[in-house]
Amino acid sequence: MKKFLNLLLIVGCFVLGACGKENKRIIRIAHNQIQTHPTNIGLLAFEEFIESKLGDKYDVQIFPNELLGSQVNTVELTQTGAIDFVVASNAILESFDNIYQIFNLPYLFNSTEHYHAVMDNAELITPIFTATEKSGFEAVTWLDAGQRSFYTKKPINTPNDLKGLKIRVQQGATNIRMMELFGGSATPMGLAEVYTALQQGVIDGAENNELSLTSTKHGEVAKFYSYDMHQMVPDILIGNLKFLNGLSQEEREIFNEGFKLLSRVQRDAWEDSVIQAKQQAQNDMNVQFIYPDVELFKEKVLPLHAEVLESNPKLKPIYDRVQEIGREVKKGGNN
Ligand code: GCU
């Protein structure tokens, strides 16, 4: 109800154009993380930057904590222009355009360096980020969301331990199929519902990066975090296409600089946040970290690559380039 009223207020303000300070155009950005999360820190830097350059015209407002609704809902609001930007997990974007399926493949990247090199490769990323015109949005930058592993009420040491367990996944066909191949039972839901579902035993576990143990407090109700590291799924900042296309060239250049700043600040904060979250989960929440044989998990889900490429053949050249970048990164050491 609270969310609905918030939304009503925002849509009302938008229609009437009446809520801006001195008639400034309000830019609304939604995300689903808490205020101390690297994503919010990055967005605050973005806000400050845009307002320092274009503050007479724009008032940037950030709505954290799913205040405007779940990620799926806020992507829809961004499509229609009710809000301007949302940070969405790549996992759910595949339902809006299946080109995003590529980054939902488990074990697509063989290291963090590989993941970053791919996401920073403008030649590879730009066609994907701009492929969604018909869906009414465009991606403007990516943010780190680390690597995803299972966390559960009972320890997961091998994929066999997942058998029969109900595991929350993000809403997307690739994730559901991945869970099937792992042998567990996929239960798709939005992030905000996971804590109660764990607590009430609706699910036996979930999968995410380490920050979810502390920032969304899942470590209070799931005490085993098992590093099978099945996915590195980026978060993507998407913007309403009409809004972006309505910017003058000069404004767009400033926004582009802002997006770069956001990405840099968010990623700089990421590594430390993971270390802190791990310590807090271990020391204050008694979460036990498990380091299983990752190869056993890989074997289960690697067939998904061929399956997806067959059903979505336009991904093949992108997939091949991702592999190639992997080899280049390995050869070049640390680049
Ligand atoms: C990560 C990611 C979010 C996503 C969440 C989830 O926290 O950064 O964008 O919503 O996982 O599992 O739903």
DSSP H helices, 190-293, are 194-199, 211-214, 241-246, 249-285
Helix (H), strand (E) at residue 140: strand 137-143
pLDDT above 60 for 239: yes
For the chain, the average pLDDT equals 94
| pLDDT recorded at residue 2 | 45
What's phi and psi for 139, nearest 5 deg? -90, 140
Query: Could you read off the pLDDT of 211-224 as tens digits, one per residue?
Result: 999 999 999 999 99
Interacting residues of 57 by C-beta distance below 8 A, sequence separation 6+: 24, 25
Question: Is residue 289 within 8 Å of 228, Cβ to Cβ?
Answer: no
Minimum mean pLDDT range among 2-11, 239-248, 278-287: 2-11
| pLDDT recorded at residue 17 | 47
Ligand 1 centroid, distance to 38 Cα (angstroms): 12
Query: Could you read off the pLDDT of 9-51 as tens digits, one per residue?
Result: 555 555 444 455 579 999 999 999 999 999 999 999 999 999 9
| pLDDT recorded at residue 22 | 72
Among positive and negative, which fits the CA dihedral 169, 142, 2, 240?
Answer: negative
How far apart, in whole angstroms, are the C-alpha atoms of residue 292 and residue 18?
56
pLDDT band at 8 (very low <50, low <70, confident <90, very high): low
Q: Is the CB of 273 under 6 A from ligand 1?
A: no
Q: Report percent pLDDT > 70 for the chain.
A: 93
- For residue 324, give the amino acid letter: E
Query: Could you read off the pLDDT of 258-311 as tens digits, one per residue?
Result: 999 999 999 999 999 999 999 999 999 999 999 999 999 999 999 999 999 999
Nearest residue (by CA) to ligand 1, atom 13, is 191
| pLDDT recorded at residue 333 | 72
**Alpha carbon distance, N-terminus to C-terminus of the chain:** 49
Which of the listed residues 73, 148, 210, 212 should we mutate to test ligand 1's pocket, taking the one with most ligand atoms within 8 A of CB? 212
How far apart, in whole angstroms, are the C-alpha atoms of residue 292 and residue 242?
47
| Closest to 157 (Cα-Cα) out of 71, 225, 62, 238 | 225
Question: Is residue 170 within 8 Å of 92, Cβ to Cβ?
Answer: yes
pLDDT above 50 for 171: yes
Question: Span 158-170, mean pLDDT?
Answer: 98
Question: Span 68-89, mean pLDDT?
Answer: 98
What's phi and psi for 121, nearest 5 deg? -85, 100
| pLDDT recorded at residue 14 | 53
Question: Is residue 210 within 8 Å of 146, Cβ to Cβ?
Answer: yes
Ligand 1 centroid, distance to 55 Cα (angstroms): 31
Q: Report percent pLDDT > 90 for the chain.
A: 92
Question: Is residue 206 within 8 Å of 151, Cβ to Cβ?
Answer: yes
| pLDDT recorded at residue 16 | 46
pTM score above 0.85: yes
Query: Could you read off the pLDDT of 174-198 as tens digits, one per residue?
Result: 999 999 999 999 999 999 999 999 9
Q: Is the CB of 167 under 6 A from ligand 1?
A: no
Q: Please state the atom number of ligand 1 nearest to the C-alpha of residue 191.
A: 13
Ligand 1 centroid, distance to 20 Cα (angstroms): 30
Q: Is the CB of 210 under 6 A from ligand 1?
A: no
Q: Is the CB of 71 under 6 A from ligand 1?
A: yes
Question: Span 110-125, mean pLDDT?
Answer: 98
Residue 303: CB atoms within 10 Å: 11
| pLDDT recorded at residue 335 | 46
